[in-house]
Structure 1
Amino acid sequence: MTTTAPAATPAPPLVPVPGPRSLPLLGNLPAFGRDPLAFLVRLRDDHGDAVTWSLGPRRSLFLFHPRHIAELLGAVESDYDILDIGWAFRQVVGHSLILSKGAEWRRKRSLVQPTVRPRQVRVYAETMVDCARTAADDWQDGERIDVQREMQLITQRIVLRTLFGNDLGEQARALGDAMGVAQQEIGEEVRGLGILLPSWVRTPARRRMLEAVATLDAEVHRLIRARQAAGAAADRDDLLSRLLAARDEQGRPLTAKEVRDEAVTLWAAGHETTSTALTWIFHLLSGSPAARARLDAELDRVLGGRPPAFEDYEHLTWTQQIVKEALRLYPPAWLIAGVAREGATLGGTPVRAGTIVWCSQWTTHRDPRWFRDPASFRPERWDPDAPDPIPDHAWFPFGGGQRTCLGARFALVEAALVLATLAQRHHLDITPADVVPRPGLLIQPAGPLTATLRRRTPGGTA
């Protein structure tokens, strides 16, 4: 399936223009914090493709053109550093790959990347389907469910089994709750005044954050110690075992702290992002009977009533297009930023060292220049023979360049197989139809999405 096509016209020269007036010290933070998504759309529509603004006292530049975004993402590691987005975020990911740079980043990437290669994703596909089937087995016709909560339970079970090799029993709920608190506090800090506070300040939110991280650390370190004590006798193929067995070119393993940081980062990235994407997918399908009917037909044709398997993924083309279109309209991750080094340029224009250069999946994915009728859910726009070519980096839910999310393949396969497994057996009719997106660390529904389950029989209707 074709994902992108070359841009029809070259990018305009990068000529930064001033954005909205800012306040002393706070800059544009109050306006951004009130409604970040609307603020970014105004930056694009009122000012142009390259807009200067300020998040607090630091100078920033926002990019909206795909060519400029592609150049920025391709220059991370050479001309730009990844932005450290705050105290709360560091508490969760530590010094993991996501915040490393230079030689340390290259070393950690070489150690972590093999754990999520396509061959490993194939191994984990059976777990993805099994966890989704377990949930579907418990669903009853006519039952009302909290869609986001159900998707979280499914993806948490998947990530715990693939990462740690088991469901962790009674600890699973406590760990899931702790991760939920951590992600909520990160989101609140990013869009509020907390991002400006020194690291030593202990607000109630930061104390909640430290308690949540302590819960995560205690269990992850216990698992690491148990796996190290078992040694080769454990004979496991989960991500934790692979992280512990990884060696760099000098034969050095990751330290226990490094394993903790990578494991928790993989957990955070692999759990909440996919559950959020699935929540939006079922919301969109509930409001699009034609798209859901085409999905039903594809599942019946490809699967013939049996559960999906990894080998079916490439044949579930409409399923993949639904996932891609949902990631376009509601990308879970919605902001990327790099900090310019000395000598950095964009579009041939010098960028002052220390400038934070931003781009947003939300605004570019919904730009009418690249997507006809951008607010509409239209999976057919991803048909191989679709008439409107989509420029490179007009769709970038997993970032781009060397820093592309290592788990992108895992996430796409997981979303498609879980969707296929659940939709094969149930329609989810969601109310209300109008849902407000709320950006925090991820873009999630502002309120609960409640669905009525309608059982369907493969080859039949709900």
Structure 2
Amino acid sequence: MPVTAVPLVPTPGPRGLPLVGNLPAFGRDPLGFLARLRDEFGDAVTWSLGPRRSLFISHPQHIAELLGAVERGFGILQIGWAFRQVTGESVILSEGADWRRKRALVQPTVRPRQVRGYAATMVDCARAASDRWRDGERIDVRAEMALITQRIVLRTLFGNDLGDQSRALGDAMGVAQEVVGAEVRGISLFLPAWVRTRNRRRLLTAVATVDAELHRLISERRASGSEAGDDLLGRLLAARDDQGRPLSAKEVRDEAVTLWAAGHETTSTTLTWTWYLLASSPSVRARLHDELHRVLGGRAPTIDDYERLTWTQQIIKEALRLYPPSWLIPAVARDGATLGGTPVPVGTTVWCSQWTTHRDPRWFPDPTAFRPERWEPDAPDVVPDHAWFPFGGGQRTCLGARFALVEAALVLATLAQHFHLDITPTQATPQVGLLLQLATPLRATLRRLPAASRGVCQASA
């Protein structure tokens, strides 16, 4: 295991309460609590989440070392009963030989070549929304982005929109996200599996809806003998390991649900925060319109345009810095674990947070400002490795990272060619759940851009 050049010197954090430790303070305001740990106690802070001995790290070198050591010195924290009901034994919770097998089978489904094939679907779904929008119409931004990304993930995952079932499945996944998020920050995280709270009963109903539809789809594919296909489900069904073994129906279900959640909720959240940031940044928005006019000239974007849409990509990257959908990563120390040359006691849960590190003024001057120019190749402030890690890092970097980045950029480019979302300036409050969402609905008035002026600055829009 590599040792960082920055020694790790743990500092005792805030005193907790008997039995629950710092859980009440963390549960009330997770983001504020973690920021306090960094600002008041330093880059390595010991604290307690219920009965768990915890260590919170903030320095990018320690974070890189931690994420690079998962599967060796550190293991995966099994976060709660609710999370496992949704993802099952998918690649994100598997370890050892089981993880290596599943990763080898799942990774080819989201490699750049496959993502390239999905790009047209991403643009088509965004164009369908744009064609439906009307000038002056009021929309719920998150709801609209969720409709687009859900349609994208259903078409790329299952090959079609699933008709009437799509709303039921979307609602079920929404319940799952809500319940898992509530459990992560509450006392129910420590309740035994047999305790059935109201939220747990809601989750079981939602998961049953998802499982029934996936069971039907998998059974139909296998019964028809047409398992292989260009969609993600077909690729999962056709995958074989080095011994010729396929994924079981349960394994296909677990990986499909995980890809679904990553491709839908994560990207819709990113796009919602992006529109919020653009609404109060006329100069950023003007430069976006100029790039879209120069690169696209009024036509729909394609995957070949993706690398040329550099400002669009920088906008997405900066939105992911300020409001990373995934905001906290845990790992559990195994025997012999070290960080920064310091032994970490076995069983210690080590946490790092995208939220706090992404907003650290040491790595990002004026950290709360929306400045996509930070990501210019010749920017004066060099961002250290793992000071930005919205998709994790090391061997367990999110498999869908490329899919999510391409999806967000192409959807934004498609919609921003035709509309500006007029949002009344307000201070958005993030709400911590499984993902980092807005606490209240974000409403916007659609302003259609005149065809003749879509390539000129819209700073006054």
- What's the TM-score once normalised by structure 2's chain length? 0.97
Question: What amino acid sits opposite 1:44 in the alignment?
Answer: R
1:11/1:65 contact within 8 Å kept: no
AA aligned opposite 1:391: P
Q: Distance in 1 between matches of 2:228 and 2:131?
A: 31
- For residues 232-283 of structure 1, what are the alpha-carbon distances to aligned partners after superposition, in whole Å with 9 as ceiling and x for unaligned? 3x66300000000000000000000000000011101110000000000000
Runs of 5+ in structure 2 lacking a partner? Answer: none
Partners of 2:107 and 2:21 in 1: CA distance = 39
Corresponding residue of 2:303? 310
Distance in 1 between residues matched to 2:377 and 2:294, nearest whole Å: 19
How many angstroms apart in 2 are the aligned matches of 1:431 and 1:413?
28
**Cα distance, 1:196 vs. partner?**
1.1
TM alignment of 1:236-255, pairs within 5 A = 236-255=229-248
The 2-side partners of 1:36 and 1:459 are apart by 42
Q: Is the aligned partner of 1:114 residue 2:98?
A: no
Matches within 5 A, 1:205-224: 205-224=199-218
- What CA distance in whole angstroms lies between the structure 2 residues aligned with 1:381 and 1:231? 51
Deviation by residue 1:305-357 (Cα, 9 ceiling, x = unmatched): 00000000000000000000000000000000100001100111000000000
2:89 matches 1:99: no
| Counterpart for residue 123 of structure 1 | 117
Secondary structure at the counterpart of residue 337 of structure 1: strand
Separation (CA, whole Å) in 1 of partners of 2:201 and 2:171: 15
Say if 2:438 is the partner of 1:438: no
CA distance in 2, matches of 1:187, 1:406: 21
User: Does the alignment pair 1:34 with 2:42?
Assistant: no
Q: Aligned to 1:416, what secondary structure does the other structure show?
A: helix
Cα deviation for residue 112 of structure 1 reads 0.2
State yes or no: 1:55 paired with 2:49: yes
Q: 2-side partners of 1:310 and 1:231: how far apart?
A: 32
Residue 336 of structure 2 corresponds to: 343
CA distance in 2, matches of 1:335, 1:36: 10
Q: CA deviation at 1:459?
A: 2.5
- 1:13 offset after TM fit, Å? 1.1
TM-fit CA distance, 1:12: 3.1
Q: CA deviation at 1:11?
A: 5.0
2:280/2:425 contact within 8 Å kept = no
Please name the residue that 1:259 is paired with. Answer: 252
Answer yes or no: is the 8 Å Cα contact 2:228–2:237 preserved in 1: no
SS at 1:315 equivalent: coil
Question: Would the aligned equivalents of 2:354 and 2:390 in 1 still touch at CA under 8 Å?
Answer: yes
Contact 1:431-1:449 within 8 A present in 2 as well: no
- Contact map agreement 1:11 1:68 (CA 8 A) in 2: no
Q: Is 1:198 aligned to residue 192 of structure 2?
A: yes
Partners in 1 of 2:218 and 2:153 — Cα distance?
Answer: 16
Structure 2 counterpart SS, 1:395: coil
| Paired letter, 1:267 | W
Whether contact under 8 Å (2:46, 2:53) holds in the other structure is yes
Structure 2 equivalent of residue 398 of structure 1: 391
* Displacement of 1:375: 0.3
1:433 is displaced (CA, Å) by: 2.0
Whether the aligned pair in 1 keeps the contact of 2:279 and 2:425 (CA below 8 Å) is no
Partner of 1:7: none
Question: Are the aligned partners of 1:24 and 1:57 in contact in 2 as well (CA < 8 Å)?
Answer: no
Partner SS for 2:294: helix
Please, which moves more after superposition, 35-44 or 427-436?
Answer: 427-436
Q: Is the 8 A contact 1:432 1:449 kept in 2?
A: no
* Moved segments of 4+, more than 4 Å: none
SS at match of 2:307: helix
TM alignment of 1:172-183, pairs within 5 A: 172-183=166-177
1:447 maps to what in 2?
440
Alignment equivalent of 2:131, drawn from 128, 137, 148: 137
Structure 1 equivalent of residue 75 of structure 2: 81
Per-residue deviation, 1:189: 0.3
- Residues in 1 aligned to 2:258 and 2:213: alpha-carbon distance in whole angstroms: 14
Count the aligned residue pairs. Answer: 452
Residue 111 of structure 2 corresponds to residue 156 of structure 1: no
Q: SS of the residue aligned with 1:412?
A: helix
